[in-house]
Amino acid sequence: MARPNLLLLLLPALLSAGSTGRPASSTNLGGIGGEKLTHLRFFFHDIVSGPQPTVVTVASGASTNTSATFFGLVSVFDDPLTVGPKPTSQLVGRAQGLYASAAQDSMGLLMVMNFVFVNGKFNGSTLTILGRNQIFTKLREMPILGGTKAFRFARGYVQARTHSFDLVTKNAVVEYNCYVLHIDE
């Protein structure tokens, strides 16, 4: 009979130990602070041709040139990110990474990239994105896997929408909307 009484005595202590009195979205993680949702919008300039390309092909497969999807093509890039769609618009950062044509039946790229911010509130911070980019789909979505500095513990997603694509030069401007959950320091 002593055990049920002991459990009744400990129950209020056990219940209060697990409760912080805060909603889950603002949980304190080791004294760092709560989470914050940040929306970022900028334009990615993928310059394939011209005097200063920002994309370089580094590998291709034996059948890449005969493939309708350029299967096996791997390119690295260091593309400017700007506030507006014009290349002369204010620079926000750089998109640095690689993309590979990884689908044989449709134009699907494996994107591995960091958004490196060089101006403004997030100067010196990065976001890491990894995912499938079906470039001929109107709106694409890829996950945010992490970040640094202002974006520590980042997670979320990006939405990409082609703003313009030149069929002759193959240069593209892509609008990115980033929805980032990160620690609010």
34 pLDDT above the threshold of 50: yes
pLDDT category at 32 given cuts 50, 70, 90 is low
Contacts 24+ apart (CB under 8 A), 17-22: none
pLDDT category at 33 given cuts 50, 70, 90 is low
CA gap 88, 77 in Å, rounded = 19
pLDDT category at 4 given cuts 50, 70, 90 is very low
pLDDT 10s digits, 123-180 = 999 999 999 999 999 999 999 999 999 999 999 999 999 999 999 999 999 999 999 9
Domains of the chain (ranges plus CATH)? 27-183 (2.40.480.10)
Helix, strand and coil content of the chain, in percent to the nearest 5, comes to 15, 50, 35
Residue carrying the six token digits 């390309």: 53
Predicted TM-score of the model (pTM): 0.80
- Predicted confidence at residue 185, as pLDDT, reads 72
Least Cα distance to 26 among 35, 18, 17 occurs for 35
CA–CA distances in Å: residue 18 to residues 11, 13, 21, 35, 47: 11, 9, 9, 19, 53
